[in-house]
Amino acid sequence: MRIIIIALLAIISVSSAFAGDSSSGCGMGWEVAKNQSLVSSSTRAIVNATFSNTIAMTLGTSGCAKHSIVNNDAKGIHFAEANMNQLAIDMARGNGEFVTSFASVFGCQNSRAFGSMVQANYETVLPSDSTSGVELYNNVKAQIKNNATLSSTCSLI
């Protein structure tokens, strides 16, 4: 559970670091808390993390101003941040369910080529065991751009 909470807090920090506007005062958790006095601020943060950062932020529908980040990036960063542990393992092996899904957030249909690329560049995309999800996402994105096959086939780059 602690890992989940840490992951959620990490997600919140991602959203506040990347969002040009503040997440305060919008999102399901805030609305629920404001109107219903249901949840404490910590729970509200978690509710916001699940509601506004997945559906609302990713899709831009949280009843508040649109976030300034690109939707696809938010989706990929959220995925990387939430799945760092399993991604680190699947990327070392060069395939697996998490690598396939990670490929799809970049629009890479060729998950085999994507898996080979992240495995071959493992230490570049994951330079340390404290690499954040945002760094991982950006590193992988940069490597896709450097890869002739992937840069021409991954549709969301």
Partner 1 sequence: MRLFLLLVLLFNFLRPADSSAGLPNIALTPSLFDNLNPIQKSYWLKLLHYHKAQSRADGEHFFLSSFGKSNPGAELDSTILAFQDPKAKSGWFNYHPQCVFRERYNFLSKLGLLKDLPKINCPEFDEWKKGLNAESLTLVFSSSYPNNPSSLFGHTLIRLNQKNKQGDLLDYSIAFSAMPEKEDLGLVFAFKGMFGGYKGLLEITKYYTKVNEYNDGESRDLIEYDLNMSPDELDRFINHVWEIYQTTYFDYFFADENCSAVLVDILAVPFEGEDVNSHERWYYLPSEMIKRFKSIPGRVRSEHFRPSLKKQLERTLQKLSPEDLTEVKKLSSSFDFPKDYQNIKALDGVIALLNFTRYRTKDRLSNYEKMIFRKSLIQRSQLPQQVQSGSLTETKLSAQHNLPDKSHQPQKFSAFLRSENTHSMVGIEFKEGYHDLMSNDEGYDPFSQFDFFTGSLIYDKTLNRISFDQLTFVNLTSLHPYRFYDPQFSWTVKIVDERIYDLNCDLCHKFSAKAYMGPTFSPNEKLAAALMIGPFGEASTHLEKGFRVGVGIQGSLMIQANPKLKLGLINEVKVDATKKFKKDYYNQLSFKQSYFTTTNTEWRFESALVSKFRAFTTNTRLFQFNYGFFF
Q: Which residues bind partner 1 (CB under 8 A)?
A: 1-4, 6-7, 28, 31-32, 35-36, 38-40, 43, 47, 50-51, 54-55, 58-61, 63, 78-79, 82-83, 85-86, 88-89, 91-98, 100-101, 103-105, 109, 111, 115-116, 119-120, 122-123, 126, 128-129
Closer to partner 1 by Cβ: residue 151 or 155:
155
Our CB check for partner 1 shows the closer of 19 and 115 to be: 115
Q: Please say whether the beta carbons of 58 and 75 come within 8 A.
A: yes
Q: Least distance (Å) from partner 1 to the CB of residue 28? A: 7
What own/partner pairs with CB < 8 Å and gap ≥ 24 does 122-127 have? 122/91, 122/92, 125/91, 126/88, 126/91
Which amino acid is present at 33?
Answer: A
Shortest reach from residue 115's CB to partner 1, in Å:
7
Element (H, E) at 103: helix 97-105
Residue with smaller CB distance to partner 1, 65 or 89: 89
Residue nearer to partner 1 on the CB measure, 100 or 149: 100
Fill in the amino acid letter for 16.
S
Nearest distance in Å: CB 65, partner 1: 13
Closest of 89, 45, 90, 69 to residue 134, by C-alpha: 69
User: Min. distance of Cβ 20 from partner 1 in angstroms?
Assistant: 19
Question: Quick one: angle between helices 2-18 and 41-50, nearest 10?
Answer: 70
